[in-house]
Structure 1
Amino acid sequence: MSMPFYVSPEQLMKDRADFARKGIARGRSVAVLQYADGILFVSENPSAALHKISEIYDRIAFAAVGRYNEFENLRIAGVRLADMRGYSYDRRDVTGRGLANAYAQTLGAIFSSGGEKPYEVELFVGEVGDTADGDQIYRLTYDGQVADEQGFAAMGGSAETVTNHIKERYRPGASLEEALRWAVEGLGSTDGGQPREIPVTSLEVAVLDRTRSQQRKFKRLTDSQLARLLAKDETPAPAPAATDDTPVAPPRDPSDPLA
């Protein structure tokens, strides 16, 4: 009888971590930023049907990178958990921290289990508060670790490059237009190379907007809204006011075809 091949627990965990990281690195990055009125989620995603950014509950959103079928299972589980908790207790009992803890337990159990491969996913769970101080952003890795992010964060294949780009420009209390432009420029930046321009049709963008009057704060931005927000301000400077020494042009004659 042959002896089974022995692998130390340290090596086994290292191999599983390397496997998960390689799968995540192949995915396009997702950036999340706090702005004056809420939380912004931006991703490069050419598909109009397979979303990487979704709503979980009234004030809570979800974003992911990695294998679509794996993070879609996690999203559905989060929606079910939030609905069940809100129905059984109260809607205020559904929190981003509670969902982040549930995801951390699930990912940690899968990663440490020897019976199945680790999930090749990273997640963002964001919750918008009544004020900017109440906003919460949690980042979860493939092995169940949770990080409480402040201001901005990125994950995916080019996370470090995107994060460094946004870090150089970010300031608290920025407008939606500024935050969106920083995120899109960051997603298009390359490490030491020429930055590329991402077309509006390849962007997936959503916000948790605390100023919305309805209970649901999640909103997707359409291509036309993105094009308007990303358009550069080309408004001409106003003409100088006329003074006593400045000749004033006579009124135009409507019957004149050149008027």
Structure 2
Amino acid sequence: MSTPFYVSPQQAMADRAEYARKGIARGRSLVVLQYADGIVFVAENPSRALHKVSEIYDRIAFAATGKYNEYESLRIGGTRYADLRGFTYDRTDVTARGLANLYAQTLGNIFSSAAEKPYEVELLVAEVGETPEDDEIYRLPHDGSIIDEHGSVAVGGNADQISSYLGQRHREGMDLGEVLRLAVDSLTREAGGGERELTADQLEVAVLDRTRPQTRKFKRVPVRQLASLLERNGSSEAAAEDTSDSATDDTSGD
């Protein structure tokens, strides 16, 4: 009679975590940074249709890296939760912390379930406040834990090196042009110490802008305006143009 194969629970969970981390590391990097007027999301994403960054609710945005079909299903579930809660109670009852708790429970249940593989995703949920001190950024790894972030955070790809680079250079009160250039500089850093070039059309950029007069603070940054902001000698007028409210602004999530 053969002896049954046994794996300790600790080893099984470690294997599942390693599987998820490897899947996330294969995804392109994404960074989120606070700046003077809000929160900016910068992702390496040449696709114009498959978004890594999306609006969830009035002042809340969602960003993710990893397997697209997995984090897209989570985004849709979060949007439905936010719409239902805002309609049933009040729009102010929809918060980034509440959404982070929802995602944490979902990811944790999937990670601990032996019947299905863990999700290969890492999520970011951010809410812009009235002041920079009121901004909230939550990072949710594959296992459903919640990490409260401040200033800057990177996920996917070479996240550790990017986070270290941002931590040394990010500062409070940066304007949009400065923080965008810093984000792109960090994404061009390769694990071997080299650098590569990223152009505006290879990036997906969105902001939660607290200065917008509308209730909805989310706005995607078009390629043309992004290219202008990324110029080293770009003027402050370029930043003003980017965050201005025009008829062509995309304020929708997806």
Match of 1:33 in 2: 33
Match of 2:240 in 1: none
**Structure 1 CA distance for aligned equivalents of residues 104 and 15 of structure 2:** 20
Q: Kindly provide the amino acid, as one letter, of the partner of residue 60 in structure 1.
A: I
Match of 1:99 in 2: 99
**Structure 2 CA distance for aligned equivalents of residues 134 and 3 of structure 1:** 58
> Is this contact kept in 1: 2:228–2:234, CA < 8 A?
no
Question: SS at 2:24's partner residue?
Answer: helix
The correspondence of residues 143-222 of structure 1 with structure 2, limited to 5 A, is 143-222=143-222
**Structure 2 CA distance for aligned equivalents of residues 191 and 44 of structure 1:** 16
Question: SS at 1:109's partner residue?
Answer: helix
Match of 1:48 in 2: 48
Match of 1:252 in 2: none
Identity %: 63
**Structure 2 CA distance for aligned equivalents of residues 140 and 150 of structure 1:** 14
Match of 1:86 in 2: 86
The correspondence of residues 214-253 of structure 1 with structure 2, limited to 5 A, is 214-233=214-233
**Structure 2 CA distance for aligned equivalents of residues 199 and 132 of structure 1:** 29
User: For each residue in 1:8-50, what CA deviation from the matched residue of structure 2 results, as whole angstroms up to 9, or x when unmatched?
Assistant: 1011001100100110010011100000000000000011110
**Structure 2 CA distance for aligned equivalents of residues 234 and 88 of structure 1:** 45
1:67 aligns with 2:67: yes
Determine which structure has the larger helix proportion and give its number: 2
Q: Compute the TM-score of the two structures, normalised by the length of structure 2.
A: 0.90
Question: SS at 1:193's partner residue?
Answer: coil
**Structure 2 CA distance for aligned equivalents of residues 4 and 115 of structure 1:** 19
Q: Kindly provide the amino acid, as one letter, of the partner of residue 31 in structure 1.
A: V
Match of 1:8 in 2: 8
Segments of 5+ residues of structure 1 without an aligned counterpart are 236-259
**Structure 2 CA distance for aligned equivalents of residues 81 and 234 of structure 1:** 40
1:118 aligns with 2:118: yes
Question: SS at 2:169's partner residue?
Answer: coil
Following superposition, the deviation at residue 234 of structure 1 comes to 7.4
Aligned length: 235
Q: Kindly provide the amino acid, as one letter, of the partner of residue 141 in structure 2.
A: T
User: For each residue in 1:202-236, what CA deviation from the matched residue of structure 2 results, as whole angstroms up to 9, or x when unmatched?
Assistant: 0000000000011100000001110110112178x
User: For each residue in 1:92-117, what CA deviation from the matched residue of structure 2 results, as whole angstroms up to 9, or x when unmatched?
Assistant: 00000000000000000000010000
Q: Kindly provide the amino acid, as one letter, of the partner of residue 163 in structure 1.
A: S
User: For each residue in 1:85-138, what CA deviation from the matched residue of structure 2 results, as whole angstroms up to 9, or x when unmatched?
Assistant: 000000000000000000000000000010000000000000000111110000
Following superposition, the deviation at residue 189 of structure 1 comes to 0.9
**Structure 1 CA distance for aligned equivalents of residues 67 and 88 of structure 2:** 32
Give the 3 Å change call, closer, same or farther, for CA 234–87 of structure 1 in structure 2: closer
Q: Kindly provide the amino acid, as one letter, of the partner of residue 90 in structure 1.
A: D
Q: Kindly provide the amino acid, as one letter, of the partner of residue 170 in structure 1.
A: H
Following superposition, the deviation at residue 172 of structure 1 comes to 0.5
Q: Kindly provide the amino acid, as one letter, of the partner of residue 200 in structure 1.
A: A
**Structure 2 CA distance for aligned equivalents of residues 197 and 164 of structure 1:** 20
**Structure 1 CA distance for aligned equivalents of residues 193 and 234 of structure 2:** 28
**Structure 2 CA distance for aligned equivalents of residues 52 and 210 of structure 1:** 21
Instruction: Using the TM superposition, name which of 186-195 and 169-178 deviates more.
Output: 186-195
Give the 3 Å change call, closer, same or farther, for CA 234–154 of structure 1 in structure 2: closer
Segments of 5+ residues of structure 2 without an aligned counterpart are 236-254
Match of 1:19 in 2: 19
Following superposition, the deviation at residue 7 of structure 1 comes to 1.1
Following superposition, the deviation at residue 193 of structure 1 comes to 2.6
Give the 3 Å change call, closer, same or farther, for CA 115–53 of structure 1 in structure 2: same
**Structure 1 CA distance for aligned equivalents of residues 232 and 173 of structure 2:** 20
Deviating above 3 A after TM superposition, structure 1's stretches of 4 or more consecutive aligned residues are: 1-4
Question: CA-atom RMSD, angstroms?
Answer: 1.2
Following superposition, the deviation at residue 168 of structure 1 comes to 2.0
Give the 3 Å change call, closer, same or farther, for CA 9–181 of structure 1 in structure 2: same
**Structure 1 CA distance for aligned equivalents of residues 79 and 108 of structure 2:** 19
Q: Compute the TM-score of the two structures, normalised by the length of structure 1.
A: 0.88
